[in-house]
Amino acid sequence: MAGVSGMDAPSRVRVVGSLGVAQTLAWGSSYYLPAVLAAPMARELGITTPMVYAAFSGALVASALLGPVAGHAIDRHGGRNVLVAASLLFALGLAMLGLAPGPSMMVAAWLIIGVAMGAGLYESAFSTLVRIYGRDARSAITGITLIAGFASTAGWPLSAWMQAQFGWRGACLGWAALHLLLGLPLNAWLPRTGRASRVDGAPAKAHAEDQAASVDAPPATPASAGRVSVLLAFVFAATWFISTAIATHLPRMLEATGMTLAAAVGIGALIGPAQVVARMLEFGVLRAIHPLLSARLAALAHPIGAMALLVTGPALAPVFAMLHGAGNGILMIANGTLPLALFGARGYGARQGWLMLPARFAQALAPLLFGLALDAWGVNALWLTSALGAAAFGALMLLRPPPSPSPAHLPD
């Protein structure tokens, strides 16, 4: 069988490095922005902090609705133009946010940022990599999540520093400038078309399409394809709910166990390194196994850690943080690799957009719903996220890898 990789090693490093840095910028200036800027923004605009988070939830809904459209565009034309447009929209939305005279323009700015998120976060980056590398995209997907795994580590301190130096408006304008000066050139540096080189003397894109036609092994019938899609969509929605709920409320949840705020923040700091270590394992040891197996193991990590915390109390809080972080790190990769492994590269972008649609709505609802659960049950709210994690594991157990193509159907 002919080689699949359509790009040499330096080009792969360039693409993964460019996308990884651009994704770090995109996540740091959107998903991780309200944690630092919501309170000062609310004070100056004369509104409550929950109103800022409500506008942010509206942005997440906008990103969910745009996801399938962006994915379809990447399937047809490649990801370069979509990601370049996302950089411009991020810059516009953040500039509007920094200049907003009142709540109305603040809400409009967040909606524009939400559109940028729908076109410029992981789903579009994963689809771009699949457009370039086809079924060989797993290691590239892991690579950009390794880099962008530091988005909160870099984004929160940078937002805090800019806010301290220039105010929250200056921080928003600073992020907008970074999108124009850094994110836009990096995304524009991506290959203009789906594949930038040739494979075995033939145009790489044509080779990829021929290979997809003969090697991709989607479920045999529309009914089974629909079943797999529903199960995957549920897994993504459940795991994104858990991730967002914990990211939003972790210090408060740990305080409910009797810990001090300083201790809770220190425990929370373990999650980021655990995510990165897990992604390094995925890049190395776990790369040899099917992503369905690694996703099953990752789905169990949060429920096991939560049970340890609920049974023993604060003593095993570090274990909870590390297990949650490790599972979350691998599951973020699984968002990109599982649809590729189960359906193949053809139509990946549009399918990814639809599969992630429920996850984006779950993400938008998670801060409110888990906050209400914390108010009512305290740390026992972890029973809710544990049940969702266990259900996600059960759904993954119902999935099976597609059969390997027989030698007679492999391309020459």
Domains 9-208 and 216-401 agree in fold: yes
Q: Is the pLDDT of residue 241 over 90?
A: yes
pLDDT band per the 50, 70, 90 thresholds, residue 403: low
Architecture of domain 9-208: Up-down Bundle (1.20)
Tell me the pLDDT tens digit for each residue of 102-127: 999 999 999 999 999 999 998 889 88
- Write the CB contacts of 272 (distance below 8 Å, at least 6 apart in sequence): 149, 150, 152, 153, 325
Q: Which of 23-27, 306-310, 312-316 has the lowest mean pLDDT?
A: 312-316
pLDDT recorded at residue 221: 53
Tell me the pLDDT tens digit for each residue of 362-371: 988 888 888 8
Q: How far apart are CA 370 and CA 250, in angstroms?
A: 11
User: Regarding beta strands 202-203 and 198-199, do their DSSP bridges make them parallel or antiparallel, or are they unpaired?
Assistant: antiparallel
Give the global pTM.
0.77
3-class DSSP assignment, residue 101: coil
Q: How far apart are CA 77 and CA 379, in angstroms?
A: 48
H, E, C per residue of 202-243? EEHHHHHHHHHHHHCCCCCCHHHHHHHHHHHHHHHHHHHHHH
Nearest to 120 by CA among 94, 153, 157: 94
Q: How far apart are CA 320 and CA 306, in angstroms?
A: 6
Q: Which of 89-98, 159-168, 265-274 has the lowest mean pLDDT?
A: 265-274
Give residue limits of the domains in the chain: 9-208, 216-401
216-401: CATH, from 3.40.190.10, 3.40.50.300, 3.30.750.24, 1.20.1250.20: 1.20.1250.20
Q: Is the pLDDT of residue 205 over 50?
A: no
The CA-atom distances, in angstroms, between 394 and each of 37, 141, 296, 297, 384 are 38, 25, 9, 11, 15
Nearest to 22 by CA among 112, 90, 94, 97: 90
Q: Is the pLDDT of residue 59 over 60?
A: yes
